[in-house]
Chains A and B, each alone.
Chain A
Amino acid sequence: MYLTSYAALTGLKLGLVEPGWTFFFQIANTLILFLILKKLLFKPVTEFMQKRQETIAGSLEEARKKNLDAQALSAQYQEKLAQAREEGQGIVKAMEQEAEMTALQIKKEAQAEARKIKDDALKEIEREKVKAIQALKDEVAEMVVLAASQVVEKDFSADEHRAFIEKFIGEVGDTKWQN
């Protein structure tokens, strides 16, 4: 055994299968390496990966939830939109109907107004006509009296015959002046 001759140990080549102190060194080395690698490599990396896995799973779950929420919201909005569109269409229709009614009423009123104006105008014309005929009759009567007095050369008393003349003219007028 080499343990007996200390002096010349360094540089000595040992046998291929020779148990010795190295065995204990190697046990200690392995234990030390195990403890250090566990603390420095395996534990932190495993924990880190686990944490990341949890984070990713959480993020995915959150994303899934958000997606669902978004879908629900989208459906809700679409429904609301459809409702609004329907409502809008209703309003437009109502408005159209109202407008039509208003227009019709305005038209009716306008027609009534126009008719009234026309009637008034006709009445006025009639009145004016009657007035004019009356005036003409008066004038003619005067002219006839004047003419008759000239013919008779006598004071054709206007007052005396006026009633007769007027009656005559009135009869004539009623038939002739009408045209």
Chain B
Amino acid sequence: MEGGFGPIVAFEIFGIPVTQTVTTTWFIMAVLILYSYMATRRMTTVPRTLQNVTEILVDGINGLTRQSMGDKNIGFAPYMGTLIIFIAVANIAGLFGLRPPTADVNTTFALSIMTFLMIHFFGAKSQGTWNYLKGFTEPFTLLLPLNIMGELATPISLAFRLFGNIVGGLIIVNLTYSALGSLSSSLLGISVPLFQVGIPALIHVYFDLFAGILQSFIFAMLTMVFISIAID
């Protein structure tokens, strides 16, 4: 890789650069919207293949939300589901040769800042703004700066956890590919990167599938937990 592992600017509108991250996100959005449309177009009482998968997915997300936020907060399920599905698909994008949008701090910070805003908006909404703000001075006023720093640390840790995991995987996969490429040319003496066939599959399975899906769950679970703590 030349010039590091950052995203490439795909094009620009009115001088605003649109990076690979954004275009890949648009592609993922298109796929997800198309999937949603296809899955819910003709729903039957006895579900068939696609509907089965969709029902398991939606039911799982509803169950997860109900489990970690309680029955009264089931309204958060669509947002949490969007988070899980989007982050999971974005993380897996590496499998299809795309640069994962989550390997960009802008994406992970966008998501974590939204979580941050939701935590404090819904916290203030359910407890009353004054009561909520007073909560930062507990157990005593001296801890106010610490409490504020702790709150500010939440989005940062959320964003960098996801970013670090995915970009780490991206870098390792890329390094493995170039290592295997140069190995095949130096060992076999041919310019065809033969060793790149098959061997990176394991690394993809771990970094893209396992870590990717795990991180999407962690991000959504933490968001749910933080919001429900703020609400209670």
Contact = CB atoms under 8 A, between A and B. Distances in A.
A37 B82 contact: yes
Interface stretch (A13-21, A62-70, A110-118, A123-131): A13-21
17 contacts: A2-B9, A9-B9, A9-B12, A16-B6, A19-B109, A21-B17, A22-B7, A22-B19, A26-B21, A29-B25, A30-B86, A31-B114, A33-B82, A40-B40, A45-B54, A49-B59, A52-B45
Given A37-B81, A38-B82, A25 B9 contact: no
Contact of A23 (B5, B43, B109, B167): B109
B59 to A, nearest CB: 6
Contacts of A43: 78
Contact of A19 (B5, B17, B105): B105
Interface in A25-51: 25-27, 29-34, 36-38, 40-46, 48-49
Given A9-B17, A22-B104, A34 B8 contact: no
A25 B59 CA distance: 30
Contacts of A24: 110
B101 A37 contact: no
Nearest to B12: A9
A12 B101 contact: no
B210 interface: no
A19 B156 CA distance: 13
Name the 5 nearest CB pairs between A and B, nearest first. A22-B106, A26-B110, A41-B36, A38-B78, A42-B78
B3 interface: yes
B113 interface: yes
Interface in B1-44: 2-12, 15-19, 21-22, 25-26, 29, 32-33, 35-37, 39-40, 43
Nearest to B61: A42
A10 B9 contact: yes
A12 to B, nearest CB: 5
A33 B24 CA distance: 13
Contact of A30 (B16, B104, B110): B110
A40 B36 CA distance: 6
Contacts of A102: none
B106 A26 contact: yes
Contact of A13 (B3, B33, B58): B3
B7 to A, nearest CB: 6
Given A10-B12, A20-B106, A37-B36, A29 B19 contact: no
Contacts of B2: 13
Contacts of B77: 42, 46
Nearest to B13: A21
B81 to A, nearest CB: 6
A12 B2 CA distance: 11
